[in-house]
Amino acid sequence: MKTGKPAHWGKWQPNAEAAKAISGLQLSENIATKAFADGMAALFQEKYARAIKHFNAAIELGTGLNTKTYLYRGISFYKTRQFQKAEEDFKTVLDLDPHTADAYGFLYLIYTHRTVRKGLAAGWAKSNYEQLCGKGSLDSE
């Protein structure tokens, strides 16, 4: 049984710079996860401005795009009546995962609050939500 580095490594050996980069990514991801958890706690406590700050940090620190972070930040924006920012987040959610029913539901609520585009935009969000959920009309419930 051989010991030492694997044969396929050749002459390459991990160096301090590579280890530091990997460690930094892991640390960043851990901080992003904590920021997301803190955002969720603030959201459930109805401290929406605080939740937004934590979700912003999670998005900035995260190494990948996270549908849930954008969804819950969008809900926080919605609760603070920042409808434009909420709409942007819900659209980002749908870009990442078009099967997220909650994003369609909140877009429906946002669009129905707008009198100018009420019929067209709200109808789009409502029909997509109904299709996704496999239900009949939202109006019949």
CA dihedral 28, 37, 86, 135 (to 10 degrees): 120
What is the pLDDT averaged over residues 103-121?
A: 75
| Mean pLDDT of the chain, nearest integer | 78
**What is the percent of the chain with per-residue pLDDT over 90, rounded to a whole number?**
46
| pTM across the whole model | 0.66
d(CA 96, CA 52): 20
